[in-house]
Amino acid sequence: MNYRDYITLEPGKRSGKPCIRGMRITVYDVLEYLASGMSVEEILDDFPYLTREDIQACLAYAADREKTQMVVAA
């Protein structure tokens, strides 16, 4: 899966945060739902316009960001 097919960045939408397929739901929103304990199924039930691939793309995006984030020692 290439998360770039699902995650979009638009300066005028949600302050330029990464969103899912141009919609107003952000990667952060989905990650926060997962972190709070919601299952993928619960998210899909609450947001029927999302797909399982959208959620996987959010996880892949976050993993890629984590992998490429530079650590600065103080």
Q: What is the pTM of this model?
A: 0.86
Q: Which residues contact 24 (CB under 8 A, 6 or more apart)?
A: 13, 14
CA distances from 69 to 17, 62, 74 (A): 17, 10, 16
Please tell me the distance from the alpha carbon of residue 16 to that of residue 33, in angstroms, as a whole number.
Answer: 20
Domains in the chain: how many in total? 1
**Within the chain, what is the greatest distance between any pair of CA atoms?**
45
Give the burial class of 51: count Cβ atoms within 10 A of its Cβ; 0-12 exposed, 13-18 middle, 19 or more buried.
Answer: middle
Tell me which of 70 and 47 has the higher pLDDT: 47
Supply 69's token pair: 């984030």
The predicted structure's pLDDT at residue 70: 62
5-46: per-residue pLDDT in tens? 999 999 988 988 999 999 999 999 999 999 999 999 999 999
Q: At 60, which CATH number?
A: 1.10.10.10
Q: What is the pLDDT of residues 44-69, one digit of tens each?
A: 999 999 999 999 999 999 999 888 77
26: containing domain: 3-68
Residue 74 lies in a domain: no
